Amino acid sequence: MKHLPIFATIQNKPCIVIGGGAVATRKVGNLLSAGATVTVVSPVITEELRVRVGKDEIIFHERGFEAKDLDGAFLVFATTDNRAVNAEVTQLAKANKQMVNVADDPEQCDFVLPSILDRSPVLIAVSTGGASPVLARQIRLQLETMIPSACGRLAGITEEYREKVKSFFPSQAQRKQFWERALKGPVSELVYAGQEDRAKKRLDEMLEEGVEQDPMGEVYLVGAGPGDPDLLTFKAVRLMQRADVMVYDRLVSQPILDMANPDAERLYVGKQKDSHAVPQNKINDLLVDLAKQGKRVLRLKGGDPFIFGRGGEEIETLTENHVPFQVVPAVTAASGCSAYAGIPLTHRDYAQSVTFATGHLKDGSINLNWEQLTQKNHTLVFYMGLSGISEISKQLQAHGMSPDMPCALIEKGTTRNQRVHIATLANLPEKVIQSGVSAPTLTIIGEVVNLHDKLSWYEPEQHVPDTDFSLHKT
C-alpha cells in the first residue's frame, strides 16, 4: 500500500493553492467543501475562481509565487503548468515540513486527493495513488450507482440514536446485533424511500422489542421496465439484489432475473390471456404471507407496476394487512418501445396529446370511450391489444378515424428480438396475421408513426431464438 488512506479535518485551517487553472479550480472546490480557508496565488485565474473571489470565498493574490506564501499553510498545492515553479514550491514545502500535493507529479506528492463520492457524513474515497485519476473517477461513478443518495441521511439518524441505543443495550455485542438488524432491515429502506419519520418510529419499536428477530418483512414492488435490462433503475437493481424471495411474472426476462440475488427463492406467478398460473388475489395474499414470515419480498413486474400492471391492487392488500412496502417505478412500455422504434409519442407537427389504453378490460371486453380516442392531433397507445386488434381497428374506424391512419405494432420492444410492423388502421389486422406476430406487443396509432422511417435508430439482432426477453404488457 503506497498511501495511507486518512480523512483529515481541515475546517478553518489555512490551505494554499499555487496556480489558477482548471486543476487549481478543482482543488479549491474540494477544499472549500471541507471547510478550509483557501488562498490562491497566481497571475491569472479561471472565471470560476474569479467568481469565488467576488463572493469572498477565497483569498487571492494576483501575482507570481513567493516563498512567504507558504507561511502557516496546513496543506500546500502546486498546480501551475510551470514545472520549475512547482519544483520550487515543493522544495520549500518539504523544507518547512509541510504536506504538499503536486499536480501531475505523484512521486513528489506527500498526499494525493482521491475521487470522492460524497454522501455526507458518509464519504467514499477512491484513489489509484496518482497512477490513473481517470480510472479512479470511473470507479467512483460505478459506486454512484450502488450507494443510495440518502445514505448520508441514514448515517445521520444512526448518529442521533447512538446514545439511546447504548441506554437500551449495555453490551457492545448487543448493540452490534441491533444495528446490523436495523440497517439490513426495513429501517434503511424507509430512509432511502424518504420516510425518515417512519424509520425513526421503527427504530423506537425495535428498541422496545429488544434483540429478537424482527417478525415483519417488507415488499418491494419493482418495475422491470420494457425489455432492455440497461433500462432498470439503480434502485430497482439494489432492491433486486437484497431480496430473500422473488415473486415474478412471465413478462420478466431471464437476463433481468439473473440480476437478482442468486440466493433468493424464486416463485413464478405468470399470467397471460385466459391462462393464469396464480390468480391475482392469490398473488396478493402470497405477498402478505411472505412478508409476515420476516422476508424481504421482491415483487418483480414487467414494465411499470402502476401502468396496467395491477400494482395498485397488490399494495391495497399490503396496506390492509399493515405490511411495509416500497414501489419502484420503471420505464413503461409506451415510452420505451416508442423510443426504440423511433416514434415520438408527441410532436409539435403531429400530436399534442397521448392516451394509454388497455386492449382488454377485466371482463375480457374492449369497451372503451371510442369517441374520445378518435380526436385529432392525438396518439393512441394500446397495451395488451394483440388478440383484440381487429375489434380496435373496427371501432376506431366506426367512430370516425381514417382507415389510412398510420399504425405501428412493436413486437418484443427494446429487446434484441424487437420487430416493428408498420400498417394503416384498415390493414393492421391483416398485417398481424401475415407477419406472424407474437406477444408481447404494443400498438401505436397516430400520425407520429410517419416519423419511424426517418428516426429509427435501434438495430436489434435478427433471427435470435425467442427466449422470452419481453417485459412489457402484451
> Is there a single domain that holds both residue 419 and residue 374?
yes
Find the CATH number of the domain harbouring 411. Answer: 3.30.950.10
Domain boundary among 331, 347, 366: 331
Nearby residues of 108 by Cβ (< 8 Å), 6 or more positions away: 86, 87, 90, 100, 102
> Is there a single domain that holds both residue 126 and residue 100?
no
Single-letter amino acid, residue 391 = E
The neighbouring-strand residues paired with 419 are 411
Mean pLDDT of 463-472: 45
Binding-site annotation: residue ranges: 22-23, 43-44, 226, 302-304, 307, 332-333, 384, 413
H or E element that contains 77:
strand 75-78
> Is there a single domain that holds both residue 272 and residue 349?
no
Determine the pLDDT at residue 468.
44
> Is there a single domain that holds both residue 373 and residue 291?
no
Phi and psi, residue 265, nearest 5°: -70, 140
pTM for the whole structure: 0.69
- Residue 21 domain flag: yes
Phi and psi, residue 379, nearest 5°: -115, 135
Determine the pLDDT at residue 362.
58
With both helix axes pointing from N to C terminus, report the angle between 172-184 and 151-168 in degrees, rounded to the nearest 10. 150
- Chain centre to alpha carbon of residue 274: 35
| Best-predicted range by mean pLDDT (170-174, 368-372, 407-411) | 407-411
> Is there a single domain that holds both residue 323 and residue 345?
no
Please pick, among 69, 228, 235, 249, the residue that the annotation labels catalytic.
Answer: 249
Mean pLDDT of 20-30: 96
C-alpha cell at 173: 455485542
CA distances from 221 to 46, 287, 382, 450 (A): 48, 10, 23, 36
- Residue 461 domain flag: no
Look up the domain containing 92 and give its range: 14-113
| Mean pLDDT, rounded, of the chain | 90
> Is there a single domain that holds both residue 177 and residue 223?
no
C-alpha cell at 357: 389504453
Rounded CA separation 144/180 (Å)? 23
Return the closest-CA partner of residue 252 out of 272, 234, 235. 272
Higher pLDDT, 460 or 299: 299
pLDDT in tens, 399-451: 999 999 999 999 999 999 999 999 999 999 999 999 889 888 999 999 999 99
- Residue 247 domain flag: yes
Rounded CA separation 472/474 (Å)? 6
> Is there a single domain that holds both residue 348 and residue 428?
yes
**Where does the pLDDT of residue 464 fall: very low under 50, low under 70, confident under 90, or very high at 90 and above?**
low
Query: Is 142 a residue whose pLDDT tops 90?
Result: no
- Residue 170 domain flag: yes
- Residue 205 domain flag: yes
What count of other Cβ atoms lies within 10 Å of the Cβ of residue 463? Answer: 6
CA distances from 300 to 80, 234, 360, 379, 451 (A): 54, 14, 22, 29, 33
Query: Is 199 a residue whose pLDDT tops 80?
Result: yes
**Cell 391483416 sits at which residue?**
430
Output the CA torsion sign for 206, 210, 216, 217. positive
**Is 184 designated active site?**
no
Determine the pLDDT at residue 467.
46
Nearby residues of 254 by Cβ (< 8 Å), 6 or more positions away: 467, 468, 469
pLDDT in tens, 214-267: 568 899 999 999 989 999 999 999 899 989 999 998 888 888 999 999 999 999
Domain boundary among 280, 305, 331: 331
Output the CA torsion sign for 267, 272, 278, 283. positive
Residue 131 DSSP class: S
Please pick, among 271, 273, 394, 431, the residue that the annotation labels catalytic.
Answer: 271
Query: Is 273 a residue whose pLDDT tops 60?
Result: no
> Is there a single domain that holds both residue 326 and residue 252?
yes
Q: How many domains are contained in the chain?
A: 5
Return the closest-CA partner of residue 413 out of 314, 346, 333, 310. 333
Find the CATH number of the domain harbouring 231. Answer: 3.40.1010.10
Mean pLDDT of 352-379: 85
Rounded CA separation 298/194 (Å)? 19
- Residue 36 domain flag: yes
Determine the pLDDT at residue 212.
57
Return the closest-CA partner of residue 250 out of 278, 229, 231. 278
CB 456 within 8 A of CB 429: no
The neighbouring-strand residues paired with 115 are 126
Binding-site annotation: residue ranges for NAD(+): 22-23, 43-44
Determine the pLDDT at residue 211.
58
Residue 311 DSSP class: H
C-alpha cell at 440: 408481447
**Where does the pLDDT of residue 183 fall: very low under 50, low under 70, confident under 90, or very high at 90 and above?**
confident
Rounded CA separation 225/223 (Å)? 6
H or E element that contains 22:
helix 22-33
> Is there a single domain that holds both residue 324 and residue 338?
no
**Is 249 designated active site?**
yes
> Is there a single domain that holds both residue 345 and residue 441?
yes
DSSP string covering 410-434, please?
Answer: EESTTSTT-EEEEEETTTHHHHHHH
Rounded CA separation 269/170 (Å)? 46
Query: Is 63 a residue whose pLDDT tops 80?
Result: yes
**Cell 446490523 sits at which residue?**
180
DSSP string covering 41-69, please?
Answer: E-SS--HHHHHHHHTTSSEEE-S---GGG
